[in-house]
Structure 1
Amino acid sequence: MWLRKLLYYPLSIALTIASPAPVVRGQPGGAPWLAIDSNFPDPSFLQAPDGRWYAFGTNGNNRRVQVAVSLDFHTWNLTDIEALPTLAPWETAIDHWAPDVIQRDDGRYVMYYSGEARSRLRHHCVGVAISASTSPLGPYIPNDEPLSCRLNDGGSIDPAGFRDPADGSRYVLFKLDGNSVGNGGDCNNGNPPILDTPIMLQPVEEDGFTLRGDAVEILHRVTEDGDGPLVEAPSLVFVGGMYYLFYSTHCYTDVLYDVRFATADSLGGPFEKGNESLVRTGEFNLTSPGGGTVWAGDEGPRILFHGFCGEEVRCTYAAELEIGDGDVRFV
């Protein structure tokens, strides 16, 4: 999302991380470790039936949607695969951000991503693409219509799929990108009137994209909660009878950018925010960690997130988690 946010964030903000801390090069266990030593922002991931792990990242390395593969979650290999080789009629060829992939019951995969709307440049919609086969590597063929645009609210970005274990129903989370039409200042949303950037929850059918009712707001930016001028990058899991909603706040170019979480007893909330960051600048030699995706499968909870590892370069970091009783920590 570097190009995205430089276009409407002041350069002074972008340069706040011009001298990043050294990258983490530790071993798995007890702390995050460097997983992808390349520009691989906004990572999402899943474990396929073959046992392999597949990660997907924002456009970079001459790919519209990047793909990395791991046999054990610890060591990752960046592929040269272009997961999204074709475009939908509604989008331009730039800005394919924060892809997230889920598998349907029919074995095919659904990719959600943020793309620039042709009808309003520099604003974005949530697109949907379906795998041509039962391989998570794709290629993914985009639907002609986006899942959500909400351009009057600034656009829709940062999608994440979720299947509720309670009844098997499917949802897509996304952020309303109010700061993209903000009034300047921090993250283009620091000057009043401050615009909303809520996290939305959209019910969908089993195909992963047919809308089922209306989207509802489940998380808001609240200054008193320690939030910056936005909340974004949602990731939702269900563990031990409780819903855990992970998100990032502040500007991704700012050293204040971090990963946080909120909890709720029901899917619709209310979600109660934790008092502390899960991970933030300075911890484990990280700079501006954020954009995290959490997996809570049979092998235990784990996370991928990005952090600056060089000027304008965001590497991907990995960690194993312990989640329970309303708390989250690194194993």
Structure 2
Amino acid sequence: NAEAVRRIVHNLNEPTVPSFMDDFPDPAIILTGDTWWAYATNANGTNIQLASTTKEAFDGRWKRHVGYDVLPSLPAWVRQNRSDVWAPSVVQTSPNNFVMYFSATWDKEPKFHCLGTATSSTPDGIFTPSPEPFACPLDVGGAIDASGFLDPVTKKRFVTYKIDGNSLGSGGTCNNGFWPRKNTPLVLQEVSADGIQKIGNPINLLNREDVDGPSIEAPSIAYINEKYFLFYSSNCFDSGFYDVRFATSSAVAGPYKKGGKLLISPNLGLINPGGAETTIDGKFVTFHAGPPGKRYMYTGRMTFDGDNTVTICTNGGCRSAEADGEELGDVKDEY
């Protein structure tokens, strides 16, 4: 039978090897031609970091473009001496146009972040920022963690992001550890074909519950088997409880049902895995994880058994979780 011919190709729970040994938080990916590109939160003296590899080498070592900044100039609404440019995401809207979504510190009040957009004719930049913010809901805490999504069913474009209620918190873990905790909803904004002009108002997709700790964040949507999968992280990024989870829906605007934990410490030798972004088809994923004080980039591939079970395989092994919330744990399979 099929089970008898499966081959174990991973040493389960061996430490997963990062794409390279350097700080590269919140990695986002795009494939153009035969090249994968990855973008990351500010570090190593740049606003937005860049790495790349060939199409065939996705699971192996990547090249970090040391000292190269794909977004060297920031718009006037960003506090220039403390910009904190976080969690980029890049989409291709036409053969010669790429749009980057990013968050950065609001000039008038550094506790808030707002979302911005930038464009380039090539995936490796340089990206030129738009003068005005894309979203800046200061009354509810600002916005971070934008991710673009092209719905393969309707051909409509969307941006999903986090309302950063943590910035209005009362302290503690991720500034939202004390009661009453603030909401940190994940929202969906429809945009025009250029990826920048907003259509209508944002829609709430998912909100933080007590089990999620102080935050849910880092949303990324994929469409598989006629279902929408919303991947996200819960808890605080350095808490030891940070994770990669998912929720499912039959419509891009929801309602979404929360599923299981796909990655959590110390599975596959990972510490605080999170900040994941997937390709639209859900087959490829990047995320970051420890060691303490660093967030390295890791890659994985995902498979889907119907619309219920998700399996992620890294070079350290595989993990599965179900849409009904059950965690299946380590699995023996190949990808």
- Higher fraction of strand: 2
**TM-score range relative to shorter protein:** 0.7 to 0.9
For residue 148 of structure 2, the aligned residue among 139, 161, 170 is 161
Q: Any stretches of 5+ residues in structure 1 without a counterpart?
A: 1-26
Deviations 1:88-118 (A, max 9, x none): 1111232010000000024310000011111
Aligned residue number for residue 56 of structure 1: 39
Match of 1:42 among 26, 31, 38: 26
Q: How many angstroms does 1:185 deviate by? A: 2.4
Unaligned runs of 5+ in 2: 1-8, 314-335
Q: Which residue of 1 aligns with 2:302?
A: 321
**Cα shift at 1:187:** 2.1
Asked if structure 2 preserves the Cα contact closer than 8 Å seen for 1:30 and 1:330, the reply is no
Match of 2:201 in 1: 214
The one-letter amino acid of 1:38's match is D
Counterpart of 2:327 in structure 1 is none
Match of 1:23 in 2: none
SS in 1 for 2:201: coil
How many residue pairs get aligned? The number is: 296
Aligned pairs (5 A) from 1:149-228 = 149-223=136-210, 226-228=211-213
DSSP-derived class of the 2:213 partner: coil
Match of residue 68 from structure 1:
51
Tell whether the 8 Å contact from 2:12 to 2:268 is kept in structure 1 after alignment: no
Q: CA offset at residue 227 of structure 1?
A: 1.2
Partner deviation per Cα, 1:8-32 (whole Å, 9 max, x = no partner): xxxxxxxxxxxxxxxxxxx989885
Deviation at 1:57, TM superposition (A): 0.3
CA contact (8 A) 2:49 2:70 kept: yes
Pairs within 5 Å for 1:216-255: 216-223=203-210, 226-255=211-240
> TM-score if structure 1 supplies the norm length?
0.86
Q: Contact 1:29/1:319 (CA < 8 Å) preserved in 2?
A: no
Aligned residues of 2:149 and 2:280 also touching (Cα < 8 A): no
* SS of residue in 1 equivalent to 2:94: coil
Distance in 2 separating the partners of 1:319 and 1:258: 15
Q: Tell me the SS of whatever aligns to 2:30.
A: strand
Q: Following the alignment from structure 2 to structure 1, what is the Cα–Cα distance between the partners of residues 84 and 212?
A: 26
Aligned residue runs from structure 1 range 259-274, under 5 A: 259-274=244-259
- 1:122 alignment partner AA: K
For the residue of structure 2 that corresponds to 1:212, the secondary structure is strand
Distance 1:237 1:30 in 2: 26
Partner of 2:75: 88
- 2:73 partner SS: coil
Q: Is the 8 A contact 1:237 1:295 kept in 2?
A: yes
* Counterpart residue number, 1:303: 285
How far is the alpha carbon of 1:293 from its aligned partner? Answer: 0.7
**One-letter amino acid matched to 2:287:** F
Q: Report the residue type matching 1:104 in the other structure.
A: T
AA of the residue aligned to 1:41: P
Letter in 1 for 2:302: L
CA contact (8 A) 1:33 1:319 kept: no
Aligned pair partner of 2:268 in 284, 294, 297: 284
Measured in 2, the distance between the counterparts of 1:28 and 1:124 equals 41
My pick for the range that moved more, 104-113 or 199-208, is 104-113
What's the CA shift string for 1:251-292, capped at 9, x where partnerless? 001100000000001111110111x31011011111111101
Q: Report the AA paired with residue 326 of structure 1.
A: N
CA distance in 2, matches of 1:34, 1:194: 34
Question: Match of 1:35, SS?
Answer: coil
Q: Which amino acid aligns with 1:218?
A: L
The match for 2:106 among 117, 134, 141 is 117
Structure 1 equivalent of residue 5 of structure 2: none
Residue deviations 1:30-63, cap 9 Å, x none? 8854112210000000101x22100000001111
Partner amino acid for 1:290?
A: G
Task: State the Cα distance separating 1:192 from its structure 2 match.
Answer: 2.1
Secondary structure of the corresponding residue to residue 102 of structure 1: strand
Contact 1:242 1:326 in 2 (8 A): no
Distance in 1, Cα, partners of 2:74 & 2:10 = 38
Distance 1:238 1:33 in 2: 28
TM-score (norm 2): 0.85
Question: How far 1:296 moved relative to its partner?
Answer: 4.0
RMSD: 1.7
Distance 1:121 1:242, change over 3 A: same
